[in-house]
Amino acid sequence: MVVILGAGLAGLSAAFHLDGRDRLVLEREPEIGGLCRSIREHGFTFDYTGHLLHLRDPSIRGWVLDLLPAGWTHLHRSAWIHSHDVLTPYPFQANTAGLPLDVRLECLLGFVDTLRRPHAEVPVPAAEPLDPALPFLRVAPPPADDEPTFLDWIHAQFGAGFAKHFFEPYNGKMWRRPLDHVTGDWVSWSIPRPELRDVLRGAITANDKAFGYNPDFLYPKHGGIDHLPRSIAAALPDDVVRTRCAAVSLVAGNRRVTLSDGSVETGEVVLSSLPLDVLCDLTVDLPDDLRRDARRLSCVGIRAVNLGVRGEAVHPGAQWVYVPDEAVPFHRIGLPAALTPAMAPAGHHTLVTEISYVPEADPGRDAHLHGTLDALLRMGFLRSLDDVVHTRVVDIPHAYVVFDRARREVLPKLLRWFLDRGVAPMGRYGSWDYLAMEDSLVHGRQVAAWIAARS
C-alpha cells in the first residue's frame, strides 16, 4: 500500500495518478484541500488568501479543465500598487506614471545606472535531482560567499530608486528579515525586468503590455478554490481519503505511521506533503544532527484579515493590490469579488489583507486587525467601519518558505535521508519550495510515476 500524508493538492493528485493501486490518504483536518480550502460564512467566500490558477503544463491544464467542465472563469490580471497615496498598475517598475515627480526621477535614474553595469543574474550553481524520477527534488549547493543576495539582485536588476520606493519596503514586509539574508535563487522567474523603453514609457503613461508570469489565470466560476480539490477527491473511490486523522509519529525505517486515533498504517512507500519541519519532528528514527538541521529551515506565516463589506468595492475590477508602505501592516489586499460575483452576497464585496509574520515578532491578531482597519480607511479602500459586516482573522503558519543559506545547506541532506527509506517528501512544504498549485499537482503526478518505476 502507498500511504499518503496530507489531502492537499499534492496528496490528492498522487492518489488520483496512483489509480489502480492500493493507496490511502490521511488528512488531519475535517476537510480535504489543505491550503486550497475555502471558508464560507454569512454568504461570503474566502480562500486562504488569493488562489488563482496559472497553468503552463498542457496536460495539467487539460486535466483541470476536465475536472470542472464549464466551471472555470478565465480572467485577465488586474493588479495594482498603492504607494505615495497613488494607485499604479502592476508592475511598479513599468508603471511609475502618476507617482510624485521626484520618485519617478529617482527610479528612472537608478534604472539607467544599472544599464551601465553588467547584470547580476544570480549565478546559482546547477542542481541535480536527488532522484532522476523525482525532478522536483533538486536543491542548489550552498551559496559561495560572493553569490549575490536577494538585495544585491534587486539593486542590480532595478537600481537604487526602484529598490528604495518598492522592492525593499515591500519585500522587507514580506520576508520579515534583512534582505541580504535571503538568497536570490527564487526570484528570477517571478519578478519581471522591463526593457528601458517600457520603464520610460511607464513613467509617462500607463503601460498596457502584459508583464510577468501571471497575466491570465483561471478561477472557479461558482466561487471558492476548494472546487478544485473537491473535484479531484470526487474522482477517487470513497475509502481512499480518511479525514480527521493526523499522523502523530513515523518510523521512516519501516514506513510505519501512527495516527491520532491510535491506529497504525504501514506503507511500501510513504508520500508526505506535511511541512518538512513537521515531518522531521514526528519522525522518531531521524538522527539528532538532522533534527537540528531541520530546525534551521525558515518560513514566514501569513495572517489573513477577511472582511465582508457592504456596498460596491471602492476600486471596481481591481483584483489585488500590493502595498509597500511600511506604516501599513499588510503587504497585499485581495478583492476576491472581482474574480466572480459568487464570492459575496449581492450589494457586498470582500477585502482580504495579508500580513506576513514570524512567531518571535508577532504583535498579535488584535493589533493586526485594528492596524488593518485603520489602514484600509486611511487608504480609502473602506468608506466606513460601519460597512464591515463580517470579520475573520485566519493564520497560515507555513505560508512562504524562506530561501536562505540554511535551506541550501540542510535541505538536500534531509530529503535524501527520507528518500533512502522510501519516504518521498512532496508538495509546497514537503519539498520546502516556492510552489504554485500547478506545481503541487505535478508533484503528485511525478511521485506516482516514481512509484511505478520502483515497482
Residues found near ligand FAD in the complex (CB under 6 A): 5-11, 26-29, 34-36, 49-54, 246-247, 273-274, 278, 302, 396, 399, 427-429, 435-438, 440
Which is nearer to ligand FAD, 252 or 274 (by Cβ)?
Answer: 274
Q: How far is the CB of 143 from ligand FAD (least distance, A)?
A: 25
- Distance CA(412)–CA(272), nearest Å, equals 16
Q: How far is the CB of 340 from ligand FAD (least distance, A)?
A: 15
Q: Is 396 exposed, middle or buried (0-12, 13-18, 19+ CB in 10 A)?
A: middle
Closest to 168 measured CA to CA, from 184, 176, 179: 179
* CB hemisphere CA count around 206 (13 angstroms): 8
Q: What is the spatial distance between Cα 347 and Cα 341, in angstroms, rounded to a whole number?
A: 10
CA distance linking residue 41 with residue 380, whole number of Å:
25
233-247 exposure pattern, b = at least 16 Cβ within 10 A, e = fewer: beebeeebbeeebbb
Closer CB to ligand FAD, residue 7 or residue 122? 7
Considering beta carbons, is residue 103 or 279 the nearer one to ligand FAD? 279
Q: Which of 105, 394 has the CB closer to ligand FAD?
A: 394
Between 46 and 111, whose beta carbon lies closer to ligand FAD?
46
Q: Which is nearer to ligand FAD, 96 or 273 (CB)?
A: 273
Q: What φ, ψ does residue 239 adopt, rounded to 5°? A: -90, 10
Give CA–CA dist 322/306, Å, rounded.
Answer: 16
Least CB distance from residue 106 to ligand FAD, whole Å?
31
Tell me the closest approach of the beta carbon of residue 199 to ligand FAD, in angstroms.
Answer: 26
Shortest reach from residue 31's CB to ligand FAD, in Å: 8
Residue 149 or residue 340: which is nearer to ligand FAD going by CB?
Answer: 340
Smallest gap, in angstroms, from Cβ of residue 401 to ligand FAD?
10
Q: What minimum distance in Å lies between the beta carbon of 147 and ligand FAD?
A: 26
Biggest distance spanned by C-alpha atoms of the chain: 66
Helix (H, G, I), strand (E, B) or coil at 208: coil
CA atoms 263, 417, 277, 18: torsion sign: negative
Q: To the nearest whole angstrom, how small is the minimum distance from the Cβ of residue 263 to ligand FAD?
A: 13
CA distance 445 to 455: 16
Q: Which is nearer to ligand FAD, 179 or 278 (CB)?
A: 278
CB of 241 to ligand FAD, least distance (A): 11
SS3 440: helix
**Which contiguous run of DSSP H or E holds residue 351?**
strand 348-357
Tell me how far, at minimum, the Cβ of 331 lies from ligand FAD, in Å: 11
Q: Give the nearer residue to ligand FAD in terms of CB position, either 7 or 410.
A: 7
Closer CB to ligand FAD, residue 180 or residue 261? 261
Beta carbons of 219 and 73 less than 8 angstroms apart = yes
Comparison of 38 and 114: residue with beta carbon closer to ligand FAD: 38
| Residue 178 in grid coordinates | 534583512
Closer by beta carbon to ligand FAD, 151 or else 276: 276
- The secondary structure of 94-116 as a DSSP string is G--TTS-HHHHHHHHHHHHHHHT
In angstroms, what is the minimal distance from the CB of 274 to ligand FAD? 5
Cβ atoms of 102 and 134 closer than 8 Å: no
Shortest separation between residue 119's beta carbon and ligand FAD, angstroms: 28
Can you tell me the distance from the alpha carbon of 91 to that of 191, in angstroms, rounded to the nearest whole number?
Answer: 9
Reference 317, options 52, 74, 76; nearest CA is 76
Helix axes 196-204, 101-115, angle to 10 degrees: 170
The Cα–Cα gap between 232 and 247 comes to 22
Which amino acid, one-letter code, is at 322?
Y
Helix (H) or strand (E) holding 46: strand 44-47
